[in-house]
Structure 1
Amino acid sequence: MKTRHLLVSLASVSIVLAMPAFAAENAQDFVDKAAVGGRFEVDSSKIAQDKVTDQNVKEFAQKMIEDHNAANAKLESIAGEQKLQLPVDLDARHKSELQKLRDAAAPLDQPYVEMQRSAHADAVSLFEQYAKDGDNAPLKAFAQETLPTLKMHKEMIEKIATTSTDSSSAANSTTPAVKTTDTPSPSAPVPGANSFTEDQAKDRIQDAGYSNVSKLTKDDQGIWRGQASKDGKNTPIALDYQGNIVSGKN
């Protein structure tokens, strides 16, 4: 009997380890995460509208308000029909990020863009997983229908981030120009104001396949630095404001 319980426990651990970093365990968990993410998109974009200067960023923020309000309303309707509860408030992490936007002085273009890049990476991961393996048919259909829009948003914000990075590099003669693409892989981390928290930076590094991530320290160039293991080797690790991960460089 003990052996059976041990095998069941080990199987459960294997399932957890195999799941994506940002995934839903069941229908209620999906509703919780999708609702919080959707509200964060709307609330952060409302704050950004009055504190960003780039017209492309302003238009993106307006689109987030419209698209995510529509998706949030649909999710609320389905959740009600399925007797599932919507969270009454944002979680601590999203509240903290909203407060940073409220407290920060304009312009907020770069912090808002970086928050949106991270948020849409999480959203696409969540909806992809549930669209494939969801345990509730109406919610699974909702995830499948909403996923293309989230992917479009992700492409839009990545393009905006690339354009703004290229413009900043060209305008600042003291900063080496860095050519970025939709899938950037620079040989060195890119300096810039970094909106990732230490926990977010650590999660991103772990999602890239690293383990044993040490305490991270952000240097005066906005780069999170520390140590991590991969393929059995311990190496210096760095994460820049664009989310690029560079290993082997101090």
Structure 2
Amino acid sequence: MKNNLRLASLSIATAISFALPALAAETAQDFVTKAAIGGMFEEQSSKVAQDKLQNQSLKDFAQKMISDHGAANAKLESIAGEQKLQVPSDLDASHKSDVDKLQSAAAPVDAPYADMQKAAHADAVTLFEGYAKDGDNAVLKSFAADTLPTLKMHQEMIDKVTASAPASDSTTPAATDTSNPAAPVPGANSFTEDQAKSAIAKAGYADVSALTKDDKGIWRGTASKDGKSTPIALDYQGNVVAGSN
């Protein structure tokens, strides 16, 4: 019976150890690596997205990420150098893929950028809280504790921006469904003419021509599909609507 209890306890302990947050840093080098990658991602993604954002509050948030994380990244690099620890020079594959998605996406990118920043800051707060409490390097523990309030403030900012943003700002432009909505939605449109043409083409149309943006922010023109020419419209959400002129 005692042996069975010991085995059961060991099994529970093993299960708990595997349930620990993936971002918990076990060593100083582990913390530096994860913190540096997280900070670089928040800065780089904000630089890439800034000119493609529509919501002004989100633009302001992106600028703050560039400023705050640029400074934090520089401080971490300096501390790591003093502690003889290695700082990664580039993002890992997963974070680089997210930055590439923002880079290649047509504007606006408000929704994917906001989602990425929410996830990144949730991870960062978990990492910094854990290391500030249980870290194995006194200098880095102090850095984590000092930086944590800023990360939490960023987290509150992005939550507030997305909570107060109109529905239009949280909709990812995805010009793939020509039946939704039934009519183009008016609103401030940040698509350029070339981006509008590209979005309409991705929705399955060819020979996109005569595009002009009306006073409601809707790109209108003509295009062909299945050999037939039709009026076409693209709204600021990325919805492509045929026969709407």
Question: Is the CA contact 1:31–1:86 (under 8 Å) kept in the aligned structure 2?
Answer: yes
Matched, 1:136 2:160: no
The 1-side partners of 2:140 and 2:13 are apart by 24
Matched, 1:21 2:22: yes
Instruction: Tell me the residue number matched to 1:123.
Output: 124
Question: Is the CA contact 1:24–1:130 (under 8 Å) kept in the aligned structure 2?
Answer: yes
Instruction: Tell me the residue number matched to 1:30.
Output: 31
Question: Is the CA contact 1:57–1:160 (under 8 Å) kept in the aligned structure 2?
Answer: yes
AA of the residue aligned to 2:61: F
Matched, 1:42 2:68: no
Question: Is the CA contact 2:129–2:144 (under 8 Å) kept in the aligned structure 1?
Answer: yes
TM-score by length of 1: 0.62
The 1-side partners of 2:138 and 2:98 are apart by 33
1:25 Cα shift? 1.4
DSSP-derived class of the 1:77 partner: helix
The 2-side partners of 1:12 and 1:39 are apart by 35
AA of the residue aligned to 1:101: L
AA of the residue aligned to 1:93: S
DSSP-derived class of the 1:50 partner: helix
Question: Is the CA contact 1:128–1:147 (under 8 Å) kept in the aligned structure 2?
Answer: yes
The 1-side partners of 2:14 and 2:142 are apart by 28
Does the C-alpha gap of structure 1 residues 151 and 19 become closer, same or farther in structure 2, counting only changes over 3 Å? same
The 2-side partners of 1:144 and 1:158 are apart by 22
The 2-side partners of 1:86 and 1:66 are apart by 20
Matched, 1:88 2:59: no
Question: Is the CA contact 1:20–1:129 (under 8 Å) kept in the aligned structure 2?
Answer: no
Instruction: Tell me the residue number matched to 1:63.
Output: 64
The 2-side partners of 1:61 and 1:41 are apart by 9
The answer to which structure, 1 or 2, has the higher relative contact order (CA under 8 A, 6+ apart) is 2
Instruction: Tell me the residue number matched to 2:179.
Output: none
Question: Is the CA contact 2:108–2:172 (under 8 Å) kept in the aligned structure 1?
Answer: no
The 2-side partners of 1:110 and 1:15 are apart by 35
Instruction: Tell me the residue number matched to 1:168.
Output: 167
Question: Is the CA contact 1:34–1:123 (under 8 Å) kept in the aligned structure 2?
Answer: yes
RMSD: 2.6
Deviation digits for residues 9-46 of structure 1 (CA, Å, limit 9, x no counterpart): 97984673353232111100000000000011110000
The 2-side partners of 1:79 and 1:15 are apart by 31
Number of residues paired by the alignment? 167
Does the C-alpha gap of structure 1 residues 15 and 130 become closer, same or farther in structure 2, counting only changes over 3 Å? farther
Instruction: Tell me the residue number matched to 1:213.
Output: none
Instruction: Tell me the residue number matched to 2:224.
Output: none
The 1-side partners of 2:94 and 2:109 are apart by 19
The 2-side partners of 1:16 and 1:160 are apart by 36
Does the C-alpha gap of structure 1 residues 26 and 14 become closer, same or farther in structure 2, counting only changes over 3 Å? farther
Deviation digits for residues 170-194 of structure 1 (CA, Å, limit 9, x no counterpart): x9xxxxxxxxxxxxxxxxxxx9659
What are the ranges of 5 or more consecutive residues in structure 1 without an aligned counterpart?
Answer: 1-5, 172-190, 195-250
After superposition, residues 209-228 of structure 1 pair within 5 angstroms as none
What are the ranges of 5 or more consecutive residues in structure 2 without an aligned counterpart?
Answer: 1-6, 174-245
DSSP-derived class of the 1:138 partner: helix
Question: Is the CA contact 2:109–2:172 (under 8 Å) kept in the aligned structure 1?
Answer: no
AA of the residue aligned to 2:167: S
AA of the residue aligned to 2:31: F
Deviation digits for residues 98-140 of structure 1 (CA, Å, limit 9, x no counterpart): 0000010000111101100000000000000000000000000
1:150 Cα shift? 0.1
